[in-house]
């Protein structure tokens, strides 16, 4: 403290000035965030989360509502998230392998369970190899920057999933975006991209918002013509599209022409969590060495692996389960009354 004429000036210690600055930074953060939240409310896009108090399934219990509610909005396409055999497999894996590995894969996070699921995924998709991720979001975030360099080009449908968009952002390849499902525009972009070393066409197999199916046969024809690779995100197709539930490529007869498949274990395949890339062995080997979400994130928990593994067994044992989705959709459509 010191005196300047009439007034005593109190000097605050450095730590208290630090706290004052931290408080003002927090106040600023709150102001900025509140304004943003108000904007979301004003735009009518606020997302309320309903709280489910039962297992996921066609009928669920929801906090605040009495009785069972018919659930049309999960991606539990085959009902396997509450299948007794899937649940039991998760319990068995929990008992045998524990809750988790407390590690990433390459340090000490790989169990025989993970290797066997990867082999099953590769077999299911009829690809050389497969690699697991904590989610398909991670699989999409982790692939493009490993595969493509500034010498290459990525040609992506404009309505691809957010995780593809983020993955593409992270990669240093030249970026082209074609109009949704528009083959003419795709061809124009492929022509433009001929100057690059490699070209990768990237599309959702099925687009989740409207259920559009990518014209994969025609896309593969263009990929042949312009020497491009084809990548599909099969989150909304794996397990139930095509005669054996292999996905959009099976449905459209191009399993041997699509080079890379990314998909999720978090929808039709038991619904727990996890994602993967299935494709050429050399690519999968490289992903294990370089893909950041794989290298720097914890391994999939054994119970999750156990559930997905059983879901795949069920699908590979017979195509009856895969076909339930098609027959239920048909039945539902037949009883829908058109609203005039
Ligand atoms: N790709 C598509 C098309 C999706 O719909 C989703 C999930 O909503 C993802 C990727 C991400 O999958 P995951 O939930 O396994 O991260």
Measured CA to CA, the distance from residue 104 to residue 312 in angstroms comes to 24
Strands (E), the chain: 2-4, 7-9, 59-60, 69-70, 129-133, 153-157, 174-178, 199-204, 229-233, 260-264, 275-279
pLDDT at 6 over 60: no
**How do residues 97-138 score in pLDDT, each as one tens digit?**
999 999 999 999 999 999 999 999 999 999 999 999 999 999
- Does 208 qualify as catalytic in the annotation? yes
DSSP β-ladder status, 7-9 and 199-204: unpaired
DSSP SS3 for 175: strand
The predicted pLDDT at position 15 comes to: 75
Q: Which residues line ligand 1 (CB under 6 A)?
A: 135-137, 140, 161, 163, 204, 208, 233, 235-236, 264, 266, 275
Across the range 222-236, mean pLDDT stands at 98
Find tokens 């106040």 and name the residue.
27
The answer for residues whose C-beta is within 8 angstroms of residue 192's C-beta and 6 or more apart is 176
Ligand 1: nearest atom to the Cα of 273: 15
Measured CA to CA, the distance from residue 83 to residue 86 in angstroms comes to 5
Q: Are 117 and 303 spatial neighbours (Cβ–Cβ below 8 Å)?
A: no
**How do residues 250-273 score in pLDDT, each as one tens digit?**
999 999 999 999 999 999 999 999
From the list 125, 161, 189, 236, the catalytic residue is 236
pLDDT category at 339 given cuts 50, 70, 90 is low
pLDDT at 8 over 70: no
Does this model's pTM top 0.85? My answer is yes
From the list 175, 179, 180, 208, the catalytic residue is 208
The answer for residues whose C-beta is within 8 angstroms of residue 315's C-beta and 6 or more apart is 78, 124, 239, 244, 245, 269, 321, 322
Query: Which of 121, 160, 161 to probe ligand 1 with, by most ligand atoms within 8 A of CB?
Result: 161
């Amino acid at each position: 403290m010191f005196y300047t004429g009439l007034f005593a000036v109190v000097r605050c210690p450095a730590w208290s000035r630090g706290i004052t600055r931290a408080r003002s930074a927090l106040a600023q953060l709150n102001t900025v965030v509140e304004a943003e939240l108000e904007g979301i409310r004003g735009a009518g896009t606020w997302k309320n989360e309903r709280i489910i108090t039962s297992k996921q399934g066609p009928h669920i219990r929801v906090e605040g509502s009495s009785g069972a509610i018919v659930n049309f909005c999960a991606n539990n396409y085959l009902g396997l998230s509450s299948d007794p055999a899937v649940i039991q497999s998760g319990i068995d894996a929990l008992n045998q392998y524990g809750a988790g590995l407390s590690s990433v894969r390459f340090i000490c996070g790989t169990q025989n369970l993970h290797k066997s699921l990867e082999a099953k995924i590769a077999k299911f998709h009829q690809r050389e190899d497969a690699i697991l991720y904590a989610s398909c979001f991670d699989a999409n975030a982790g692939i493009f920057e490993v595969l493509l360099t500034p010498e290459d080009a990525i040609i992506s449908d404009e309505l691809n999933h957010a995780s593809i968009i983020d993955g593409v952002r992270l990669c240093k390849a030249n970026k082209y975006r074609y109009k949704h499902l528009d083959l003419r525009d795709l061809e124009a972009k492929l022509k433009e991209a001929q100057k690059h070393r490699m070209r990768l066409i990237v599309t959702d197999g099925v687009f989740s918002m409207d259920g559009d199916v990518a014209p994969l046969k025609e896309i593969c024809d263009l990929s042949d013509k312009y020497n491009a690779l084809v990548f599909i995100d099969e989150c909304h197709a794996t397990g139930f599209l095509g005669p054996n539930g292999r996905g959009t490529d099976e449905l459209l007869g191009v399993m041997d022409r699509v080079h890379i498949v990314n998909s999720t274990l978090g929808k039709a395949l038991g619904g727990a969590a996890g994602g993967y890339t299935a494709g050429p062995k050399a690519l999968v080997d490289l992903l294990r060495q370089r893909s950041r979400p794989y290298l720097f994130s914890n391994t999939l928990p054994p119970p999750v692996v156990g559930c997905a593994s059983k879901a795949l067994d069920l699908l590979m044992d017979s195509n009856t389960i895969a076909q339930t989705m098609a027959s239920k959709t048909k039945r539902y459509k037949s009883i829908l009354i058109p609203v005039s």
